[in-house]
C-alpha cells in the first residue's frame, strides 16, 4: 500500500476535530496537526489520536499555514482536511481500497466535497477538490484566504467523498482578512475579487457586494464556473434590492459565458412565477429538464436543478393554469426523485383531496 500523511490546520476545534480524526485516523500513516493558536482542548484531542502537533503563529494567511503543514509530512501522499470534515463509512472503505490498489502514477487524486445533503441524506451541493497529492511533487497552496492547492500533472477523479459537517455559525473572519489586505494595498487576483464579493454578500453588505461582483465580471477573466456563479450571486443581490430588471440582466449574463445551465432556467422560471406568467415559466422549467450538468468535473453542482426541482415547479405552474393532469405527471416525477420533500408531500395530499372531491 502507498502511505499517506493527513495534514490539517486547526484552531479551537476540540469538538469537531474529535469527530474528524475518528473517521480517518486508522486510514492514514501519520497525522500532522498544525495549531494556529487554540485556547481550548484542541491539542489534547489531537494528542489522543497520536497526532504530531506543530505550532504556527497566525499571520492572516491560510496558504502559509497549510504549506507549513505540508512541509512536515513524511509519507508518499499528502491528504488534507478541515476540522469539520469527515469520511462517511462508505468513503472510508473506498479510501482503504484506494490505498491497497494505488500506485504513484497519479500526481493528484480528487474527491467529491459534499457541502450539504438533502432530507434523504443524498448529496445536494457538491464539487470535486484535489484532496490527495504526491509529496515529492511539492505542490503549494496559493491565496491568503479561500486558498487553493495548485496542482499539475496527472489527476485521477475518484468516487470517494469528504463530507462537510459545518458546526460553527458564519463569521466575518474572512471578510476582515480581505479588508485588511485591501487596506495594505495588496493586489487581488481575479479569484480574490470573486471571493471578496462573496464575503461581502455573506455578511449582508449587499451594495458593496454588487460593486465587487460587477468589477469582477467586467474584468472578464478567471475560471468560467466562478464567473457564472458570480452572475447568479449578483442576481440575488439585485433581487434583494428589488431591482428585478437588473436581476434578469445579471442572470442573462450567464448565457454569454457558456450554454444555459439548469440553474439559470430554474431561477429565471421562478421570476416568471412571481409575476404569474406561467406559460413563460413552464417554458424555462421544461428547458431545465433537458439539460445535463456541466462537463467540468470540478464545478459546484446542485443536484436539485437537474432532478426534482423543475418538475416541482412545473407541477405548480400547470396547476395554476388548470391543467391538472400535467400537474400530476410532473408531481410524480418529482416524487420519484425526492419522495420526502415537504412540498412533494404537500402536493400528494393536495391531489388526494382533489380526487375525493370528484
**Which residue is listed with cell 497519479?**
106
Give the tens place of pLDDT for each residue, 202-228.
999 999 999 999 999 998 889 999 999
Give the tens place of pLDDT for each residue, 241-276.
999 999 999 999 999 999 999 999 999 999 999 999
Model pLDDT, residue 38 = 98
Beta strand ranges found along the chain (DSSP E) = 4-10, 30-35, 52-55, 77-80, 85-86, 108-117, 123-134, 140-142, 148-150, 155-164, 301-302
Model pLDDT, residue 143 = 97
Q: Which three cell numbers stand for residue 314?
A: 412545473
Average pLDDT score over residue span 43-56: 98
Residue 298 to residue 282: CA distance in whole angstroms:
30
Query: Which of 164, 199, 214 is the last residue before a domain boundary?
Result: 164
Chain centre distance of CA 165? 12
Q: Give the CA count within 13 Å in the CB-facing half-sphere of 244.
A: 6
Give the tens place of pLDDT for each residue, 290-347.
999 888 889 999 999 999 999 999 999 999 999 999 999 999 999 999 999 999 999 9
Residues 6+ apart with CB under 8 A from 169: none
How many domains is the chain built from?
A: 2
We report the CATH number of the domain holding residue 209 as 1.25.40.10
189 plus 156 within the same structural domain: no
Residue 84 to residue 111: CA distance in whole angstroms:
16
Model pLDDT, residue 20 = 98
Q: How confident is the model at residue 68 (pLDDT cuts 50, 70, 90)?
A: very high
Q: Facing residues of 133 across strands?
A: 78, 108
In this structure, what are the phi and psi dihedrals at residue 221, rounded to the nearest 5 degrees? -135, 165
Residue 290 to residue 285: CA distance in whole angstroms:
9
The mean of the pLDDT values for the chain is 96
Query: Which of 141, 164, 187 is the last residue before a domain boundary?
Result: 164
123 plus 230 within the same structural domain: no
Determine what percent of the chain is predicted with pLDDT higher than 70.
100
Residue 70 to residue 237: CA distance in whole angstroms:
38
Residue 358 has pLDDT above 80, yes or no: no
133 plus 205 within the same structural domain: no
Query: Which of 164, 186, 208 is the last residue before a domain boundary?
Result: 164
Evaluate whether 112 touches 162 at the Cβ level (below 8 Å): yes
149 plus 197 within the same structural domain: no
Q: Of 322, 278, 326, 285, nearest to 305 (Cα)?
A: 285
Residue 56 to residue 10: CA distance in whole angstroms:
10
Model pLDDT, residue 344 = 97
Q: Give the CA count within 13 Å in the CB-facing half-sphere of 153.
A: 17
Model pLDDT, residue 28 = 98
Give the number of other Cβ atoms within 10 Å of residue 38's Cβ.
18
Determine what percent of the chain is predicted with pLDDT higher than 90.
90
Chain centre distance of CA 243? 27
182 plus 59 within the same structural domain: no
Q: Which three cell numbers stand for residue 316?
A: 405548480
78 plus 121 within the same structural domain: yes
Give the residue numbers spanning the domain of 206: 173-357
Residue 230 to residue 31: CA distance in whole angstroms:
36
Residue 170 has pLDDT above 90, yes or no: no
135 plus 195 within the same structural domain: no
152 plus 177 within the same structural domain: no
Q: Which three cell numbers stand for residue 335?
A: 416524487
Model pLDDT, residue 101 = 87
158 plus 177 within the same structural domain: no
198 plus 119 within the same structural domain: no
Evaluate whether 127 touches 294 at the Cβ level (below 8 Å): no
What is the gyration radius of the CA atoms in the chain, in angstroms? 23
Give the tens place of pLDDT for each residue, 76-115.
999 999 999 999 999 999 999 999 987 888 999 999 999 9
Model pLDDT, residue 72 = 98
Evaluate whether 165 touches 19 at the Cβ level (below 8 Å): yes
10 Å CB burial of residue 109 (0-12, 13-18, 19+) is buried
Total number of residues shown for the chain: 358
128 plus 257 within the same structural domain: no
We report the CATH number of the domain holding residue 13 as 3.90.550.10
160 plus 177 within the same structural domain: no
Q: Give the CA count within 13 Å in the CB-facing half-sphere of 344.
A: 19
Amino acid at each position: 500500500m502507498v502511505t499517506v500523511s493527513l495534514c490539517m490546520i486547526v484552531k479551537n476545534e476540540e469538538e469537531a476535530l474529535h469527530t474528524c480524526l475518528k473517521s480517518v485516523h486508522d486510514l492514514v500513516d501519520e497525522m500532522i496537526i498544525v495549531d494556529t493558536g487554540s485556547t481550548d482542548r484542541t491539542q489534547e484531542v489531537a494528542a489522543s489520536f497520536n497526532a504530531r502537533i506543530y505550532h504556527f503563529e497566525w499571520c492572516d494567511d491560510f496558504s502559509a499555514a497549510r504549506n507549513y503543514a505540508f512541509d512536515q509530512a513524511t509519507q508518499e501522499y499528502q491528504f488534507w482536511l478541515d476540522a469539520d470534515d469527515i469520511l462517511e463509512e462508505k468513503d472510508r472503505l473506498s479510501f482503504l481500497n484506494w490505498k491497497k490498489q494505488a500506485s504513484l502514477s497519479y500526481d493528484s487524486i480528487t474527491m467529491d466535497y459534499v457541502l450539504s445533503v438533502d432530507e434523504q441524506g443524498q448529496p445536494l451541493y457538491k464539487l470535486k477538490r484535489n484532496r490527495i497529492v504526491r509529496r515529492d511533487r511539492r505542490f503549494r497552496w496559493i491565496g491568503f484566504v479561500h486558498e487553493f492547492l495548485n496542482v499539475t500533472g496527472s489527476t485521477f477523479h475518484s468516487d470517494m467523498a469528504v463530507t462537510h459537517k459545518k458546526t460553527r455559525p458564519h463569521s466575518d473572519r474572512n471578510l476582515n482578512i480581505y479588508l485588511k489586505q485591501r487596506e495594505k494595498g495588496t493586489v487581488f487576483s481575479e479569484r480574490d475579487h470573486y471571493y471578496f464579493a462573496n464575503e461581502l454578500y455573506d455578511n449582508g453588505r449587499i451594495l458593496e457586494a454588487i460593486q465587487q461582483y460587477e468589477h469582477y465580471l467586467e474584468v472578464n477573466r478567471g475560471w468560467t464556473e466562478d464567473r457564472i456563479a458570480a452572475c447568479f450571486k449578483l442576481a440575488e443581490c439585485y433581487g434583494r434590492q428589488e431591482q428585478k430588471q437588473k436581476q434578469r440582466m445579471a442572470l442573462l449574463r450567464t448565457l454569454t459565458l457558456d450554454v444555459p445551465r439548469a440553474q439559470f432556467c430554474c431561477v429565471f422560471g421562478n421570476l416568471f412565477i412571481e409575476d404569474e406568467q406561467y406559460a413563460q415559466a413552464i417554458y424555462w422549467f421544461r428547458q431545465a429538464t433537458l439539460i445535463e450538468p456541466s462537463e467540468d468535473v470540478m464545478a459546484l453542482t446542485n443536484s436539485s436543478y437537474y432532478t426534482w426541482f423543475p418538475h416541482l415547479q412545473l407541477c405548480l405552474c400547470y396547476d395554476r393554469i388548470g391543467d391538472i393532469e400535467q400537474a400530476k405527471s410532473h408531481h410524480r416525477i418529482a416524487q420519484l426523485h425526492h419522495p420526502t420533500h415537504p412540498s412533494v408531500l404537500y402536493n400528494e395530499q393536495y391531489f388526494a383531496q382533489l380526487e375525493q372531491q370528484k
